[in-house]
Structure 1
Amino acid sequence: MKKNNKIALIATVVFIMATILGVIFIPQFLPDDNNTTTNDYEDISVEVAYNMINDTVSYPNLIILDVRNQDEYDSGHLNNSILIPLGELESRLNEIIQYNNTEIIVYCRSGSRSLSASNILASNGFFKVYNMLGGITTWIDAGYPTV
């Protein structure tokens, strides 16, 4: 075999191996834009939440989920909200699973727990999850009512 043929053969083999390895390993490092198993949630302001809550025509079955603890809830909460503390949410999803395709506004005191709760809901098949930014603290600061 001539020297040029050997070089061409080695180059071809190296190219084929690099292509195969690229096909196997590169997709692991790329973002998965087509992932259909994970749903997203949407961050909304307290103003948007207030408007959604008061728009019973567009949101007739809206759920308001409070993920604070019982003491916090008892000291004031959004009207008609359901209390499921964040630490209990995953084990109590069966209580709200029928609302998986219904708009759900999630809130807490300042927004941290509602962010975690929104991720839990979204990753468990809830499709219309809205995380209320700033929590009930921002809600009250905006002058909106609590009960």
Structure 2
Amino acid sequence: MQRLFEFIFNHYVYSLALAVVTYLLIQEFFDTAFKKFNPITPMLAVAKMNESDIQIIDVREAPDYAQGYIEKAINAPLSKLSEQLPKLTSDKKAPLLVVCQNGTRSLTAAKTLAKAGFEQIFVITGGMDAWTEDYKLPITTQRKQKASV
């Protein structure tokens, strides 16, 4: 036991790094075990969209959203998501499909939605990058109005 303490004091940086990595692994394990949302591929998302009335929430910022989005998606940027929660849907049991550019912001948005009480949350793995590049699925773009002469 004394040699263990001696090692920890002589190599405190390594010991601290081990403690931090262990903590992060345990935290990730509990987040995964108790998460209240489901990751799905873009193809499974299309199947969900076809079989049920699912609300699509795009958490990208407005300029990214304007470049192309899934049809019928609502733009609710992650930075303003908590403010827009009352506007999304009154039915907390209704299925929600969350998407971002590459799948990272949508995980944070899903956690926020789960804390708000939504029960059926699905996150598109890979985000819009996977939607358009990997699976070649269609997107909608906003057309600019032509100025009348």
Aligned-partner SS, 1:98: coil
Counterpart of 1:94 in structure 2: which amino acid?
Answer: P
Could you tell me how far 1:135 is from its partner in structure 2?
0.2
**TM-score (norm. length: structure 2):** 0.68
The AA in structure 1 aligned to 2:96 is: I
Q: What are the residue-to-residue correspondences of 1:67-106 with 2, within 5 Å?
A: 67-106=59-98
- Give the partner amino acid of 1:82: I
Name the structure 2 match of 1:50: 46
Q: Number of matched residues?
A: 108
Deviation of 1:47 (Å): 1.2
Structure 1: unaligned runs, 5 residues or longer: 1-30, 33-37
Structure 2: how far apart are the matches of 1:137 and 1:99? 29
Report deviation, 1:117.
Answer: 0.3
Aligned ranges 1:1-147 → 2 under 5 Å? 40-55=36-51, 59=52, 61-141=53-133, 142-147=135-140
Q: CA deviation at 1:91?
A: 1.5
2: CA distance, partners of 1:87 / 1:100: 21
Equivalents in 1 of 2:126, 2:35: separation in Å?
22
Deviations 1:65-103 (A, max 9, x none): 000011011000000000000000011111114132111
Residue 39 of structure 1 contacts residue 123 of structure 1 at CA under 8 Å; is this kept in 2?
no
TM-score, with length taken from structure 1? 0.69
Unaligned runs of 5+ in 2: 1-28, 141-149
Aligned structure 1 segments of 4 or more residues deviating by more than 2 angstroms: none
Q: Percent identity?
A: 27
